[in-house]
Chain A
Amino acid sequence: AQTVTQSQPEMSVQEAETVTLSCTYDTSENNYYLFWYKQPPSRQMILVIRQEAYKQQNATENRFSVNFQKAAKSFSLKISDSQLGDTAMYFCAFMMQGGSEKLVFGKGTKLTVNP
Chain B
Amino acid sequence: NAGVMQNPRHLVRRRGQEARLRCSPMKGHSHVYWYRQLPEEGLKFMVYLQKENIIDESGMPKERFSAEFPKEGPSILRIQQVVRGDSAAYFCASSPLVRTDTQYFGPGTRLTVL
Contacts and interface: CB of A to CB of B under 8 A. Distances in A.
Interface of A: 4, 33, 35, 37, 42-47, 50, 52, 91, 95, 97, 100-108
Which secondary structure characterizes the binding site on chain B?
Answer: strand
Nearest to B48: A100
Q: How large is the interface on B (under 10, 10 to 19, 20 to 34, 35 or more residues)?
A: 20 to 34
Contacts, number: 63
Given A37-B105, A101-B101, 14 more contacts: A44-B108, A47-B103, A52-B101, A100-B55, A100-B56, A101-B31, A101-B48, A101-B100, A102-B33, A103-B93, A104-B45, A105-B35, A105-B42, A105-B43
Interface in B22-76: 31, 33, 35, 40-45, 48, 55-56, 58-59
Interface of B: 31, 33, 35, 40-45, 48, 55-56, 58-59, 89, 91, 93, 95, 100-105, 107-108, 110
